Structure formats: C-alpha cells, structure tokens
C-alpha cells in the first residue's frame, strides 16, 4: 500500500531516545525545555511563550481556554478545518461560527472571515491548509484593529512562512501538531505559542493542574514543604515529556531535509499531472510564501471523485479528503450554506505525500490516477 502519510524516523531519533532512557528521567524535564527553546528559536520568538504539550488538540483546547469565553460568545473559523477547533470552542460554552474558504487554496480570505464577524466575535481561528499560509497577514491586521484575538492553527505548518516570518507568529496564540502523520513528528505531541507573557505563565499553570509552583522534586530546590499544593485555578495535565521531546529535537534539526523531499515530490506531481484533462492541481504559492508541503490535493469532477478514490484504493493507493466541512456537522448547529466549501468537498482528493515515497511510487500514483480519471470523469 502506498500510504497517504508515513513518519520518517531513524537512528538519530533512536539514539536520542536511548539517551533519555539511560538518564532515568523520561517525564517533563530538561529535554522538554530544550525542545521548547529550539522551536522558539526556529520561530524567532521568546521561548518563555512556547510550551511543548501532549498533543496539538490539547494545545488548541488550552489556547481556547485562555480566551475566558462566556455563553453567547462567538469564535469564527473556516468550515474546512479539523474538528478539534470547533470542539474546543463548544467545550468552553461558546459558539463556533463558520466562514467559507477559497475553492482552490481551501484557505479563508480576509473577506470570508470579515463576512461573519459580528458584535459577539471574541476570536478568530484560522487553519493554514496543508501548510499553505493563506491570507494570514491581512487577517491578522484586521483582528488587531478590532481587538479580536487571533489563534493560528499551524498544526501542519512547522516550516511555513510569509516574507520570512513564521506561520504561528502573526496572531496572539498558535498551535502545532507533531502527531505521527505530521511534517515534524514526536509520535504524539504539540506546541503552543502564547505571545502575551502573563498569559503564557497562566498557560503553563493550566497545563499542569493549575499549580502555581511544582510540588515535586523540582519544587524542593526552591521551597520548604515542597509537597504542599498551591493551585490557583483548576487545570489539567497536558504537558509533554522528555522522551517525545528528544525525538522532536532531532526532527527539528532534520526539518529542512524532510520538507525538501516533500517539495521534490510535489514538484514531480506537478510535472506529471500537468495537462491531464479533468485534474486541477493546487494553485501556485504567492510571492514570499513558503509552505511545509503537508498536503498535495487535486480537484476532479465531483460526480467522479469518490469512484476515483475507490479505484486508487483498489490499486493499493490510499487517498482521502481533508477536511469534511464542519458546518455540515449537526453537532455545531449551523444553518445555511457555504458554497465554496461544499463545492470543494465534492471535488477534492489528497494524494500520498511523505518523504518515504520513492520517485517510482509517485509515478505509480500518477499513472493509476490518470487511468481512473479517464474511466470515471
């Protein structure tokens, strides 16, 4: 099977994990702090605002919790987004409000966002679809002018940027995912960036039971009766650990290599699919934009998309569509239509993309796709 995603781990990651095991300190500790500092340097931000957490979803839930939302508050987000964003808002008792997206880039424009912003809007969450930055600069300016908090869901954008500025640093808060499918993986894990220093300190407390100071071995170095609990507000335990952080440090050093191979694959797809009737390739990146090349998506006639996906699966090629529009999920109570999201949901298919693909694998995908399109479209 030619897989859609596949983690790329090797001897360097194994050696880093072995070092942690031999240290006898595998929980949250010095390697976690080191990974946070390294990722902060990669972004060009203050490491005090960067937290390595248990998952990207945990990071997103914590980011939304920091908003202190009230019943009736609204958070705007693109309908084409991962379900965690809407769930995080709903869990805080607020209402997710969905906007449409560009039918080719699958990212929202400023106009899409502005069309649904209202008096009750407290925040905007934008996803950089497939690692492609989108209209983030204009959306960030719009939110700042109106006092609206911007959260960047940069889950798949560890190497994405606009004019040299890293995605995740345009808004007030940002998250990244390092699960097994991502460009940079720690097996599971995520990163949260909080721009405001006081809010970042609160995020650290909330990520570990709401404790103002640690009550274990680390606390013994700075306070008497270190076992006493000083909890200022209820929190949960979503911190990362040194085992997965050690993997993350190695993966971060390899990020250029991993993204470089992804780009080679994307370029090959682009060349081999050029001129294929019935297949639309992703649009070109705007000047100054860099992507992490997480997704490679095509668009085909909607009546044929599902059959094409089935034909590819029968040929040993796994494809999918990410993400089913959230405004069509009954849980969120949305009424109305978002025509671009609905159109692309019928036409879009994500092809295999990971550094483990060989050139022969890519050629096989293209050959089978050509055949399936010719039969079905």
Q: What is the pTM of this model?
A: 0.96
- Say yes or no: 24 and 160 in one domain: yes
**Whether the Cβ atoms of residue 74 and residue 118 lie closer than 8 Å to each other:** yes
pLDDT at residue 211, rounded to an integer? 87
The C-alpha torsion from 331 through 324 and 175 to 122, rounded to 10°, is: -50
- Say yes or no: 59 and 130 in one domain: yes
- Say yes or no: 135 and 20 in one domain: yes
Phi/psi of residue 210, nearest 5 degrees:
75, 15
Angle at 297 between CA 293 and CA 300, to 5 degrees: 165
Average pLDDT over residues 292-311: 98
Higher pLDDT, 232 or 325: 325
- Say yes or no: 277 and 241 in one domain: no
Is residue 220 domain-resident? yes
- Which of these three, 198, 219, 253, is where a domain ends? 253
pLDDT at 215 over 60: no
- Say yes or no: 222 and 264 in one domain: no
Here the CATH number for the domain that contains residue 190 is 3.40.640.10
283: which 2 tokens? 């649009």
What residue spans of the chain are helical by DSSP H? 11-23, 30-43, 56-65, 83-91, 110-114, 136-146, 197-207, 217-220, 242-253, 255-273, 302-314, 339-347, 359-376
Higher pLDDT, 223 or 115: 115
Boundaries of domain holding 219: 11-253
Is residue 1 domain-resident? no
Is residue 3 domain-resident? no
Binned at pLDDT 50, 70 and 90, residue 104 comes out as very high
Average pLDDT of the residues of the chain: 96
Is residue 2 domain-resident? no
pLDDT at residue 342, rounded to an integer? 98
- Say yes or no: 104 and 216 in one domain: yes
% of the chain exceeding 70 in pLDDT: 97
153: which 2 tokens? 């869901």
pLDDT at residue 228, rounded to an integer? 80
pLDDT at residue 212, rounded to an integer? 79
Active site residues: 182
- Which of these three, 228, 253, 278, is where a domain ends? 253
Average pLDDT over residues 41-56: 98
Q: For the segment 315-361, what is each residue's pLDDT rounded down to a tens digit?
A: 999 999 999 999 999 999 999 999 999 999 999 999 999 999 999 99
pLDDT at residue 325, rounded to an integer? 98
């Amino acid at each position: 099977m030619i897989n859609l995603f596949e983690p790329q781990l090797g001897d360097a990651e194994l050696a880093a994990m072995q070092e942690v095991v031999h240290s006898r300190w595998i929980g949250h500790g010095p390697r976690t702090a080191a990974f946070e500092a390294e990722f902060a340097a990669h972004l060009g931000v203050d490491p005090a605002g960067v937290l390595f957490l248990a998952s990207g979803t945990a990071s997103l839930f914590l980011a939304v919790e920091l908003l202190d939302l009230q019943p009736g508050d609204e958070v705007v987000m693109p309908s084409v987004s991962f379900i965690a964003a809407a769930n995080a808002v709903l869990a805080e008792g607020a209402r997710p409000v969905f906007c449409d997206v560009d039918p080719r880039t699958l990212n929202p424009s400023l106009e899409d966002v502005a069309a649904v912003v209202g008096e009750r809007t407290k925040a905007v969450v934008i996803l950089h679809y497939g690692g492609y930055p989108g209209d983030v600069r204009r959306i960030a300016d719009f939110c700042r002018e109106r006092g609206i908090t911007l959260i960047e869901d940069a889950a798949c954008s560890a190497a994405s940027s606009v004019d040299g500025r890293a995605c995740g640093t345009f808004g007030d808060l940002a998250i990244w995912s390092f699960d097994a499918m991502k460009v940079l993986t720690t097996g599971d894990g995520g990163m949260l960036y909080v721009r405001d220093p006081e809010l970042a300190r609160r995020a650290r407390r909330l990520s570990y039971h709401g404790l103002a100071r640690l009550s274990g071995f680390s606390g013994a170095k700075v306070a008497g009766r270190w076992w006493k609990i000083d909890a200022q507000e209820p929190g949960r335990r979503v911190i990362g650990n040194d085992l997965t952080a050690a993997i993350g440090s190695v993966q971060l050093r390899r990020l250029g290599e991993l993204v470089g191979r992804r780009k080679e694959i994307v370029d090959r797809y682009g060349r081999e699919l050029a001129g294929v009737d019935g297949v639309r390739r992703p649009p070109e990146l705007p000047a100054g934009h860099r992507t992490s090349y997480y997704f490679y998506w095509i668009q085909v006639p909607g009546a044929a998309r599902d059959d094409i996906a089935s034909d590819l699966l029968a040929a040993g090629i796994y494809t999918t569509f990410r993400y089913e529009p959230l405004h069509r999920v009954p849980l969120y109570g949305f009424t109305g239509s978002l025509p671009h999201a609905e159109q692309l949901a019928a036409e879009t298919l994500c092809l295999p993309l990971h550094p483990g693909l060989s050139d022969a694998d890519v050629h096989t995908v293209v050959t089978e796709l050509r055949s399936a399109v010719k039969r079905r479209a």
